[in-house]
A and B are shown apart, each in its own frame.
Chain A
């Protein structure tokens, strides 16, 4: 499909900006493992503090990159499947909000005035520009979503009896989750934190702020994940040379994500006071519910891949696996997606451990948690973003991929790195190694009386894996920017691989409409969250004044 010059440039900017920032994010990823393993015993390197770097690593990799990519990929998906380009004014507004917001937040973090990590738990206080910038980034993504919703409603009016393409359902489900969950964090930031950080209000209810954050914070992980799921369902079977085993399974999975992604956020707060045990247990069990669409996906994709491999002459119970196109340059996306899926097997299962109510006592806030989420967000999510960004840049600019052989190896190298890294972190976590801690200064500093020898081997494994991940990331930058700056050899276009369904599928109206699902989503969220918010309001004894991360005395408003 041909794309207008305008849309092409918007998508390219939305890929170029976050990938440029990602160089800072990945540099700090490498620095984390170096500090943590006790290779250096310093608070800062090159004037960038450990916790400042950790904030940059989290915000850039997990919020900026993922949001920009979801919007860029959404533009491409909607335009490709509905044959209608987004409204130019809305798209421009969305782009400007996102870029300006990101620059504000980046300036606050780089100047060291927002070292509060990406969860920005109050009463640690950041510069107001950090909160306002993040809010602008989020609002910018809303504008793009509203515009797609209008395009979809108009398209549906003209195609009442046509099944909406699965990729469009996935994109709209994803941004609906995103819109609803970010309402809570927008309230937290704009109503609670910004006036408080400017000194207009005295205190903030910390448990309430945490509850609102996690209303957003867990749905966020599905916002990261669903673009990859769209690729798994609509592209991976085609890339493998086969067909999608069941499109219906994909629809069921996406609508289950819609209703269950949000009302489970309290499973991040099992250790928090002031929230009742019943609420925690309910949301723990709901989390098992949201694992079901992932089980469905694992089966559907495995069945689709087996079908493809048998078409290619694969035989035996498992030997067919070797017929899949693991290292083919023309379908390099296959390598990125399959590695993401392999990592997600471990990522999903460790996620269930974290969500299992009292079992969470073993792992909460230990390095088990980053060990787990590097198998998810740095697994299927990140690999899909890397692969698709190269794919889109090559097609939109009409340039051939730079170093195509290296490009096929990157996802494998990355996967080996993540597996070693996460093994180290999770092992350490089971031995109580804390996350988000500059361990090189104390726990892994033999000169310190707090030296903790148990964590030497686990953090060394983290270092080894992290080093391999850094090399893979570095190679990705070479391929991405190399492709960007090559000579143009073809016309600009978007041509996604499109998987057909293996079986003929009838249109079932319930799975081609949003209304009943949105209603159900609203009811479950209210039932799960009203008691949690009521507990946070009623059981919290006092509000907290702001603190700078460097100073144990509060900042009191000047009277």
Chain B
């Protein structure tokens, strides 16, 4: 019923799709790249703060609102593993760390969470990448890694 060329093409298409799906699982497994965790929400996420768990483990609770993030500047030593929590007090905001492939949404009534390791010292810019009103283009924050003494 189906001709030879068509059959070959269907096999090729399935093979290519299989390759994509394999890469996707490879990225998840070997590279530990995953999307935000799904956590139940509670009021405590609405308080912005930085917690130190031990010498190299931190938690940052970000609260986004029109048109800034809190904490607007966070200081972290080099080599720290940081759990990031993001929520919003008003409208939907975005949370993208430049050059770190960290990409979360700040949504009122929900909390996004991911874990990032900061191996290199520097100033990491956080940009709001979801339209959140007239001041959207002003909304950014910084994570300063290896700030000598604050």
Contact = CB atoms under 8 A, between A and B. Distances in A.
Interface of A: 43, 49, 51, 54, 117, 121, 123-124, 205-207, 210, 246, 248-249, 269-277, 280, 284-285, 288-289, 291-292, 295-296, 299-300, 303, 352, 356-366, 431-432, 434-439, 441-443, 450, 452, 503, 535, 539-544, 547-552, 554
B24 A357 contact: yes
Contact of A540 (B6, B41, B133): B41
Contact of A539 (B12, B17, B41): B41
Nearest to B126: A432
Interface string B80-100: 000000110011101010110
B98 A210 contact: no
Given A121-B131, A272-B112, A358-B27, 5 more contacts: A51-B136, A276-B38, A357-B24, A357-B27, A541-B42
Contacts of A442: 137-138
B137 A540 contact: no
Interface string B44-70: 000000000000000000000111000
Contacts of A541: 40-43, 109-110
Interface string B16-31: 1100110110011000
Nearest to A508: B1
A271 B103 contact: yes
B96 A434 contact: yes
Contacts of B140: 450
A273 B107 contact: yes
A123 B90 contact: yes
Given A249-B6, A358-B27, A271 B36 contact: yes
Contact of A271 (B13, B24, B104): B104
A432 B96 contact: yes
13 contacts: A121-B130, A273-B86, A285-B24, A357-B27, A358-B24, A361-B101, A364-B96, A365-B103, A544-B91, A544-B109, A551-B133, A552-B65, A552-B66
B33 to A, nearest CB: 4
Q: What is the size category of the interface that chain B forms with chain A?
A: 35 or more
Contacts of B91: 121, 123-124, 544, 547
Contacts of A300: 6
Contacts of B138: 441-442, 450
Contacts of A548: 133
A285 B129 contact: no
Contacts of A352: 20
B35 to A, nearest CB: 5
Contacts of B96: 364-366, 432, 434
> Which of B20, B109, B128 has the most chain A CB within a 10 Å cutoff?
B109
A205 B103 contact: no
A352 B21 CA distance: 10
B83 to A, nearest CB: 14
A552 B89 CA distance: 10
B39 to A, nearest CB: 7
